[in-house]
Amino acid sequence: MKALFLVRYGEIGLKGKNRKFFENTLTKNIKRALLDVADCRIHQTYSRNFVEVVDGDAEAVAARLSQVFGIVSISPVAIAPLDLDEIKAVAKAEFEKITRPGVTFKVETKRANKRFPYKSPEVSREVGAHLLINIPDLKVDVRNPEIKLEVEIREHETYIYTRTIAGPGGLPVGVAGKGLLLISGGIDSPVAGWMSMKRGVTLEAIHFHSFPFTSDRAKEKVIDLCRELTRFGGKIRLHVAHFTEIQKELRLKTPERLTVTLMRRMMFRIAERLAEQRGALALITGESLGQVASQTMESINVIEKVTTIPVFRPLIGLDKEEIMNISRRIDTYPISIRPYEDCCTVFLPDFPATRPRLADVEEAEASLDIEALISESLAKTETLDITTNT
């Protein structure tokens, strides 16, 4: 037995001359998500994709499709020929799989194929009457039905379904260029990565590792977070940048109250260099305005002065509860709360500057050999390709 899914997209349909590129990218991403599913066929048509799999794999396939950005919804469908009697017969067979005594229902028809001789209301009326006659104890409720049977009449055949599964929406990963995510291991940055992928960004990530001040478990935690994100956008190249010497220098040579600001400026400098090497067009951070000392408007302004590349902050207007809710929904939260500190939390001053002045920060940096520190960090950077199965 085979199961067939009708896959819908939304925003892609608004694209003009580039629409084909978006559609082809979505199809490629669906194939990637189902790469290891045996006996799987994917067929792209105008405004729809169809996925055919072995019936026993249907639920697992539906779960994977519901994580592919660009997909608005998915329905398992039955096929009928372009014949009203055949449509009624298939509709009855599908309805009998889920009906129960006293259930309320309605039939809704979309007729994309305008050459079909019956208009949508006529099809809905005919199919609804057929169900009422042949299945006992049904009631029609057009406003709030317990079951909605949908009939979609297209060019070559008719699709009939009673179930619609929500997808994540957005744009297919790969249509919006590459971004470099600064990932810490906390709750926020993985969510920022997920939100960027939702807008079609291909993601690479950089993590700043300060061994032995931070443990290898902290690094493993970041690898696990990236692995979770691969479910939504495929392989992520993770760059683990050596940050130990930089933190030592900051602690020895700069005012304690400015170390958070100075540390973030060094991170941005290193990330920008790496972005240039990797063809990334923007940095992505998990900053939320006012959340911590480095995320006040004054701090963000001073920190960003060291970069010329755009910095995307998808979470800037969200509060912590909203960010945690997304984190739970995408399953990164249980990993993010593991108790292994990252370099942002070691050597944290008791009273970090929340309104740093650029002149003070630049004066503090005068004692550092910034170029040597950046070069040393990049030279020791470890690169890992993270996939769902690695």
Check whether residue 275 and residue 359 sit in a common domain: yes
Nearest to 5 by CA among 83, 68, 84, 85: 68
Overall number of domains in the chain: 2
What is the tens place of the pLDDT at every residue in 243-283?
Answer: 999 999 999 999 999 999 999 999 999 999 999 999 999 99
Check whether residue 280 and residue 239 sit in a common domain: yes
Domain C-terminal end among 166, 190, 215: 166
Domain C-terminal end among 139, 166, 193: 166
Cα–Cα separations (whole angstroms), residue 57 to 32, 39, 49, 91: 16, 10, 18, 23
pTM passes above 0.85: yes
In the chain, which residues have pLDDT < 70?
Answer: 346, 390
Q: Does residue 173 sit within a domain?
A: no
Q: Is 208 annotated as a binding residue?
A: yes
Check whether residue 34 and residue 84 sit in a common domain: yes
Q: Is 69 annotated as a binding residue?
A: no
Check whether residue 285 and residue 346 sit in a common domain: yes
Q: Is 243 annotated as a binding residue?
A: no
Cα–Cα separations (whole angstroms), residue 364 to 91, 208, 255, 268: 74, 21, 7, 17
User: In terms of residues, how long is the chain?
Assistant: 390
Q: How far apart are CA 5 and CA 57, in angstroms?
A: 12
Query: Looking at residue 144, which CATH number applies to its domain?
Result: 3.30.2130.30
Check whether residue 31 and residue 149 sit in a common domain: yes
pLDDT at res. 66: 95
What is the tens place of the pLDDT at every residue in 347-356?
Answer: 777 888 899 9
Q: Is 87 annotated as a binding residue?
A: no
3-state secondary structure of 356: coil
| Domain carrying residue 279 | 178-386
Check whether residue 264 and residue 376 sit in a common domain: yes
Domain C-terminal end among 144, 166, 188: 166
Check whether residue 229 and residue 106 sit in a common domain: no
Q: Does residue 152 sit within a domain?
A: yes
Check whether residue 287 and residue 330 sit in a common domain: yes
Q: Is 295 annotated as a binding residue?
A: yes
- E strands, 154-296, in order: 158-161, 165-166, 178-182, 202-209, 236-242, 282-284
Q: What angle do CA 255, 256, 259 make, to 5 degrees?
A: 90
Q: Is 286 annotated as a binding residue?
A: yes
Check whether residue 162 and residue 183 sit in a common domain: no
Q: Is 207 annotated as a binding residue?
A: yes
Q: How far apart are CA 316 and CA 299, in angstroms?
A: 14
Q: How far apart are CA 41 and CA 296, in angstroms?
A: 50
Check whether residue 41 and residue 144 sit in a common domain: yes
Check whether residue 186 and residue 150 sit in a common domain: no
Check whether residue 134 and residue 233 sit in a common domain: no
